[in-house]
Structure 1
Amino acid sequence: MEFELLGWPEEGPTLRLDHEQFAYAGKFVMSSTGKAVCRDGSLVGAAAFDPDRTDPETLCIRYVTVRKDRRGEGIGPQLLAFVRERAAERGFDRVTIGVNNPFSYQAAYRAGFCFTGAEQGLGELELEWPGDRSTARYQAGLDRFRARDLSDAEREFLREKRDTAPPRLDG
């Protein structure tokens, strides 16, 4: 698996993704965000990010997408960790991401992110790096999802995670 930083927001990178294979494909055509990708022969994942509008020391990961046929292989957490590491190298003290489902929440935790206790946007839970990796904080985020209208797969996932510690970091 190869990870590549295509550029920071000021460099205006764009990326065309197949909208049938990648969620948020249209968001990657915009040049106002930085981009990073993951390849395994072909493109399998992408992330878009930019500095927080109110805190220049915080980088916000806006979108992460993994090709449909490669989801569940750990590509998302690896890509998130790659962006987090590049942000730290560039001098960002904090990296955030908003997630809207328990699977994305788990992926972000595997990349080192932690629930802040806050929600943003349209019901997205805010996660940050670095942060509080306590079991109580991890479960607090899962509890927010448990209170929502969920798919059967999401409900089963949350049942399996009840009373567990946060996942270990990938890599």
Structure 2
Amino acid sequence: MQFVLLGWPDEGPTLRLDYRRFAYAGKFVMSNTGKAVVVDRWDTRSVPSTEYDTGVVAAVAFNADRTDASTLWIRYVTVRADRKGETLGPRLCAFLARAARGAGYETLKIAVNNPFAYEALHKAGFAWTGETTGLAELVLERPADAPATRHTATYRAGLDRYRDRDLGDPESSFLDSRAGATPPTLVAAARPTAALSAGDGRSLSDTP
């Protein structure tokens, strides 16, 4: 698999994703956000198409903070429906963090509205800031050059915010399974010892 930065927000990259297989597909057509993707050219479940970009199994859209040029906001993360559960989202976000560092960003942030995204971003080295948005999303962040310090008490407090919403399944079952848990293990790409990408940081081949 290849992790590829398609472009920064000012470069206006667009991406055509199949709305039947990707959540938020319509958001990736817009040119006002940067894009990065995971491409699997050997994917046997990819459907040939002249309408959609094929080979893409995960994507992320992002833009700079309006008031702090050193902060990059991740706006949307999507993984193809049949490829969920492979940590593609966390690995792509960790790749983006390294690319952002090379572009001069110091901090990455994301607002998440469900416990699955909360867990996935912790795997990418993010941690809850204790803040929420007006939409009741939890704001997570990490430095561009290293994973955030993840405190167990803060991690659990974030999960409790979702428990307070009386969610149905599968969210409630997932929250039950994380009762008393510690932050999840970082994906390899998010660890401080991970090898840096070569060249300009716009692409990276996946390694075990």
SS of match in other structure, 2:183: coil
The equivalent position to 1:147 in structure 2, one of 164, 182, 196, is 164
- Matched residue pairs, number? 171
What amino acid does structure 1 have at the position aligned with 2:129? Answer: T
Deviation string 1:47-88 (CA, Å, 9 cap, x unpaired) is: 000100111110000001000011111111111111111111
Partner secondary structure for residue 152 of structure 1: coil
Unaligned runs of 5+ in 1: none
Matches within 5 A, 1:76-87: 76-87=89-100
Give the 3-state SS of the residue equivalent to 2:153 in structure 1: helix
Instruction: Tell me the residue number matched to 2:105.
Output: 92
1:52 is matched with: 65
Which residue is equivalent to 1:135?
152
Please say which of residues 118-127 and 39-48 is displaced more in the overlay: 118-127
Displacement of 1:151 in angstroms is 2.2
After TM superposition, the structure 1 stretch with the greater mean CA deviation from structure 2, 125-134 or 100-109, is 125-134
Q: Which amino acid aligns with 1:102?
A: P
How far the C-alpha of 1:168 sits from its partner, in A, is 1.3
Report the Cα distance in structure 1 between the residues aligned to 2:12 and 2:134, rounded to whole angstroms. 24
Encode CA deviations 1:78-127: one digit per residue, 9 max, x unaligned.
11111111111211111001111101100000000000111114221110
User: What stretches of structure 2 of length at least 5 have no aligned partner?
Assistant: 42-54, 189-208
Would you say the 8 A contact 2:166–2:172 is kept in 1?
no
The answer to whether the 8 A contact 2:39-2:58 is kept is yes
Contact 2:111 2:133 in 1 (8 A): yes
CA RMSD of aligned residues (A): 1.0
Give matches, 1:1-171, under 5 Å: 1-41=1-41, 42-130=55-143, 131-171=148-188
User: Could you state the TM-score of these two structures normalised by the residue count of structure 1?
Assistant: 0.97
CA contact (8 A) 1:115 1:132 kept: no
Task: Please state whether the residue corresponding to 1:64 is helix, strand or coil.
Answer: strand
Q: Which letter does structure 1 place at the counterpart of 2:25?
A: A
Structure 1 runs of 4+ aligned residues shifted over 3 Å read none
Contact persistence 1:113–1:127 (CA under 8 A): yes
Q: Quick one: distance in 1 between partners of 2:135 and 2:26?
A: 19
Structure with the larger helix share: 1
**Letter matched to residue 140 of structure 1:** A
- Paired with 1:15 and 1:151, the residues of 2 have a C-alpha distance of 33
The answer (yes or no) to whether the contact 1:35–1:48 under 8 Å persists in 2 is yes
* TM-aligned CA deviation for residue 129 of structure 1: 0.2
Counterpart Cα distance in 2 of 1:20 and 1:31: 21
| SS of corresponding position for 1:149 | coil
Q: Is the CA contact (8 Å cut-off) linking 1:146 and 1:155 kept in structure 2?
A: yes
Shift of 1:132: 3.8
Task: Return the structure number with greater relative CO, CA threshold 8 A, min gap 6.
Answer: 2
Q: Identical aligned pairs, as a percentage?
A: 58
CA distance in 2, matches of 1:23, 1:11: 23
